[in-house]
Amino acid sequence: MKIRISSPSAILLFLSPALIFVAAELGLRWRQELILRKPQCAIQDKMEIFRLAPRCVAWEDSPNGPYLFRTNEDGFRDRSRSFFKNGALFLIGDSHVEGFRLREEEGLSRRLEESLGIPVLNLGLQGTGPGQELLRAERALKSYRPLGAIWLLNPTDVRSEEHTSELQ
């Protein structure tokens, strides 16, 4: 028995895999466009303090997949100011404190909060040194009541000429 394939059917048979591939590629590229990084959240104010924009919401990518990156009304990567009305432990530092590329619940501030049983305010921000971190902590004092503070420094923060000049 001979199988006859008409010309339109043959063309469709050979083009189907290519069409599926093109559609899948376009779908993946479209999805990737929706997953944006958070550079629009970073701002520098009049005093040259590098910080995150208040109420910023952006998609961020992590090793565990994309997640929604948010800042509160003061530009800190944490919950609303009202959550901390009875005070909070200030956690000060750079990207290690911010939880760069981590979901909020995976970061150091939340883990410390679970261990200590008190609210911990995340004042971390990637790319900052001791001078900028001190200015962020001073800014937080205007709106939050500290129960104490933990400042995480690593050797590169202290030795870096750029960060050392911030403190002068």
Kindly report, residue by residue over 42-55, the tens digit of the pLDDT: 887 776 567 888 99
Residues 115, 160 contacting (CB under 8 angstroms): no
**Angle (nearest 5°) at CA 69 between 107 and 126:** 60
Average pLDDT for residues 147-158, to the nearest whole number? 86
| Bridge-based pairing state of the strands 50-52 and 42-44 | antiparallel
Q: Which helix (H) or strand (E) holds 163?
A: helix 161-166
Report the C-alpha gap between 155 and 135 in whole angstroms.
20
Place of tokens 């959550």: 83
Report the C-alpha gap between 47 and 44 in whole angstroms.
8
Residues 128, 107 contacting (CB under 8 angstroms): no
Higher pLDDT, 156 or 1: 156
Average pLDDT for residues 64-79, to the nearest whole number? 91
Higher pLDDT, 158 or 98: 98
Query: What is the pLDDT, as a whole number, of residue 25?
Result: 56
Query: What is the pLDDT, as a whole number, of residue 33?
Result: 41
Count other C-beta atoms under 10 Å from residue 102's C-beta.
18
Average pLDDT for residues 109-122, to the nearest whole number? 96
Average pLDDT for residues 126-154, to the nearest whole number? 91
For the stretch 85-102, pLDDT in tens is: 999 999 999 989 999 889
DSSP 167: T
pLDDT over 90 percentage in the chain: 40
Task: Output the CA torsion sign for 37, 43, 48, 54.
Answer: negative
Instruction: State pTM to two decimals.
Output: 0.70
